[in-house]
Chains A and B, each alone.
Chain A
Amino acid sequence: MLKDATAIVGIGQTAFAKQLPETEKALACRAILAALDDAGIAPSEVDAFASYTMEETDEVEVAKAIGAGDVTFFSKVGYGGGGSCATVGHLAAAVATGQASVGVAWRSRKRGSGPRPWKNTAVQLPTPGQWTRPYGLLRPADEIGMLARRYMHEYGATRDHLFNVALACRNRANQNPAAIMYERPLTREMYMTSRWISEPLCLFDNCLETDGALACVVVSAARARDCRQKPVYVHSAAQGLPAQHHGMVNYWNDDPLTGPAWTAARHLWKTADFGPQDVDVAQIYDAFTPLIPLSLEGYGFCGRGEGAAFTEGGALELGGRLPLNTGGGGLSEAYVHGFNLITEGVKQLRGTSTAQVPSAATCLVTAGEGVPTSALLLRS
């Protein structure tokens, strides 16, 4: 059983900025060494690595640079931001089954100063590029905007609902000195008058382009008791690739508004001792605001079509029904393919968040929705 057999005992990160001078490899090493130091574990003890695609720094380079020992487990999960939580899931499985003892997962990204994947015209994947790119569906914002428009049409969701999401993330970032949007408040007027990116999505519906790196350390529950920090247990972990799913452009699924979150959620709750009503705080992948109502439905916090209404009345704010993305999330802290959501979940359960939910003991963390995804239930 995976349940509570392992724990996250170390987290580390670099600064987040639009532009950092160091290379992705250097940033990765800094974050990983910081996480190991946080845990009080020597780099030579690391024997497992997990990362996810669109990561340019591979485990060979990282292991060599930090001075890891013999490595007996390494994995790389596909589909970019959908793999963030799966890295911890893979390490937990490896440690729980005795394939390794000290695992490191990381994300290093120079997205703020580096290239945008959608600008690459030389490499067009035949599928789905063949069926979408010629028509000017070029960027993730265009692809998610298509689902958002349909969602608004079917369920009466409005831009005010999307603003509720953007605002909750921004309010938490305003409390987090490490966030790119620290001390930069957002108003409804700023949101409603901002420029369009892909109607119905405006500037503030989109995540930040960020340079930065993060890492975490996973060990067995027994080992965790001897580490420096309060253990944060991996209670449940799941991946999700639904039947007939098509990455990013799920338009050809029978029901494009139920994405991979639904599949991951079913397994996540099946192996957990608690349910959505017992989640104290949530870190939900927010590359775009519409992913939040869709994910709230997928992970069972409300019924189908009720995700937008769920955001009303400050539900996602501190003190609300489900405090969301308490570091500021991808929308307002940093967009590092969701890894900051994992570390923020750990901070909440340690009681050290800059926007602490009083006595938070359970946290849901999710990875990119719209692509084959993954999720974690963490508990203290």
Chain B
Amino acid sequence: MLNPVIDEDGAPFWEFTARGELRIQACAEEDCGELRFPPRPCCPHCQSFATEWRLMSGRGRIWSYVLPHPPLLPDYAAQAPYNAVLVELADAPRIRLAGNVVTAPDAPLNSLDPARLRIGAPVRVAFTEIDGVAVPRWLLERG
């Protein structure tokens, strides 16, 4: 599997996931506070470099999804077809995180019957550790 190749801007995200927290970068300027993703050095709204990482509820909805089939990299081909989704966060609908919907945090990428996926379906975050990195996974609400 491909582990996240972490850059300086993104590092805090992964430090928080290691603690089981989903946090999104926000402007720390008093009268701004805009969330932004992917992380970057300064705020596109007010150009401030002051940042904080705001805790999210971990709830969201499926914005879209694909079911990749081979040819794929070997580790992914072994689980194909699997789902890859975009989740729009309940706390910040314009922030959309890529991920996978699975039946349990450590379950394989193809553990969920694709027939259960639909745009708009509510999901919540969980974390699984892959090679020392806590990676977010998504579970369907109510089951």
Contact = CB atoms under 8 A, between A and B. Distances in A.
Nearest to B130: A134
B3 A134 contact: yes
In the A-B complex, list the 9 residue pairs whose CB atoms are closest, starting with the nearest: A126-B7, A150-B64, A199-B67, A145-B66, A124-B5, A196-B69, A130-B4, A198-B68, A133-B2
B95 A121 contact: no
Contact of A142 (B1, B68, B135): B68
A131 B98 contact: yes
B99 interface: yes
A314 interface: no
B76 interface: yes
A149 interface: yes
B105 interface: no
Contacts, number: 115
Contacts of B64: 146-147, 149-150, 153
A137 B98 CA distance: 8
16 contacts: A121-B2, A129-B2, A133-B2, A133-B5, A135-B99, A136-B100, A137-B66, A137-B98, A138-B72, A139-B68, A142-B66, A146-B66, A150-B64, A198-B66, A201-B66, A244-B44
A337 interface: no
Interface of B: 1-7, 9-10, 37-38, 44, 63-69, 72-73, 76, 79, 81-82, 84, 86, 94-100, 109, 114, 119, 130, 135
A138 B71 CA distance: 10
A328 B73 CA distance: 30
B119 A149 contact: yes
Contacts of B82: 136
Contacts of A64: none
A199 B44 contact: no
Contact of A132 (B3, B7, B65, B98): B98
Contacts of A129: 2, 4-5
Interface residues of A, number: 40
Interface of A: 119, 121, 124-139, 141-142, 145-147, 149-150, 153, 195-201, 244, 246, 249, 251-252, 254, 256
A146 B5 contact: no
Contacts of B6: 126, 130
A44 B98 CA distance: 52
A134 B65 contact: no
Nearest to B80: A136
Contacts of B1: 134
A199 B98 contact: no
B86 A121 contact: no
Contact of B65 (A119, A124, A149): A149
A132 B96 CA distance: 11
A150 B109 CA distance: 21
A130 B5 contact: yes
Contacts of B100: 135-136
A252 B37 contact: yes
B66 A199 contact: yes
Nearest to B9: A127
Contact of B38 (A121, A150, A197, A252): A252
A368 B54 CA distance: 36
Contact of A146 (B37, B72, B73, B84): B84
Given A138-B68, A146-B64, 14 more contacts: A119-B73, A126-B7, A127-B10, A129-B2, A131-B97, A134-B135, A135-B84, A136-B76, A136-B100, A138-B72, A153-B119, A198-B66, A198-B67, A251-B96
B73 A121 contact: yes
Contacts of A254: 94
Contact of B73 (A125, A126, A138, A251): A138
